[in-house]
């Protein structure tokens, strides 16, 4: 079945450093979504990417969708303590019945 | 607009018992999905309902079942509880007919099986 792998599992950075999490799918995706879950909270939608090679920015966050639509990345520039949480990618493969499959998540901690 | 609500927020059960969790989607949302979240397995898709019909199902045993009512509220039932069922159960609703639309998550129900 479809698998969505996300790396790294954990990332500890000093405030001000950059952070990147990568998402890879075993099959081609129709779209990919990114969510953030704060400690003790629930996942909150960040963005959706649909087009091959698409790049979207939200302030210090940059999201990319690979040309082959099998991978994606989230890059945070100059992390802040408010960025702490777990970042999940979630993708839907073609011909998989529309199930949204989540990656394992990357837990980001930021040291002030 | 009120968000997704889930009840109860916390639940403690013993092995062998059964449990029913409830989810009320955002008003106007017709799709409700359920996920199990554990530290080791991340977010695992359980099932999705749209207009009272199960549209998708994950790879969970038959002990896990759900349903959706005409007002889009959904319930999830787990029978013959096992220790490994301890998890955060998240419900998410979405607006449109496509299951790939943005998921709005509720706060979850924390289930502990002793």
Q: Encode pLDDT of B22-49 as tens digits.
A: 999 999 999 999 999 998 778 999 999 9
Report the pLDDT averaged over residues B99-114. 90
Q: Strand B109-113 to strand B87-94: parallel, antiparallel, or no bridges (unpaired)?
A: antiparallel
B1 has pLDDT over 90: no
- Tell me whether A35 touches chain B (CB under 8 Å): yes
List chain B residues with CB under 8 Å of A33: 100, 102-103
List chain B residues with CB under 8 Å of A98: 55-56, 98-100
Q: Which helix (H) or strand (E) holds B43?
A: strand B42-50
User: pLDDT band at B96, cuts 50/70/90?
Assistant: low
> Residues in chain A with pLDDT < 50?
none
- Which chain A residues in 49-108 lie under 8 Å from chain B, judged by CB atoms? 88, 90, 92, 97-105
Using CA atoms, how far apart are residues B82 and B32, in angstroms rounded to an integer? 25
Using CA atoms, how far apart are residues B39 and B16, in angstroms rounded to an integer? 23
């Amino acid at each position: 079945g479809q698998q969505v792998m996300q790396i790294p599992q954990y990332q500890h950075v000093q405030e001000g450093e950059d952070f990147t999490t990568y998402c890879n799918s075993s099959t081609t995706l129709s779209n990919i979504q990114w969510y953030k879950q704060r400690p003790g909270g629930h996942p909150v939608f960040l963005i959706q990417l649909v087009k091959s090679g698409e790049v979207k920015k939200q302030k210090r966050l940059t999201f990319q969708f690979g040309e082959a639509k099998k991978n994606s990345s989230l890059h945070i520039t100059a992390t802040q303590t408010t960025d702490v949480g777990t970042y999940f990618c979630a993708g839907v493969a073609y011909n998989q019945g529309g199930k949204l499959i989540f990656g394992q998540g990357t837990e980001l901690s930021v040291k002030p | 607009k009120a968000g997704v609500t889930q009840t109860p927020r916390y639940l403690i059960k013993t092995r062998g018992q059964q449990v029913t969790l409830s989810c009320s989607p955002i008003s106007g949302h017709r799709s409700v999905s359920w996920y199990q979240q554990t530290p080791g397995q991340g977010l695992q898709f359980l099932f999705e309902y749209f207009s009272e019909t199960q549209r998708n199902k994950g790879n969970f045993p038959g002990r896990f079942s759900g349903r959706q009512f005409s007002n889009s509220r959904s319930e999830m039932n787990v029978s013959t509880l096992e220790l490994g069922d301890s998890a955060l159960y998240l419900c998410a609703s979405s607006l449109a007919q496509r299951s790939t639309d943005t998921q709005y998550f509720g706060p979850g129900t924390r289930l502990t099986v002793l």
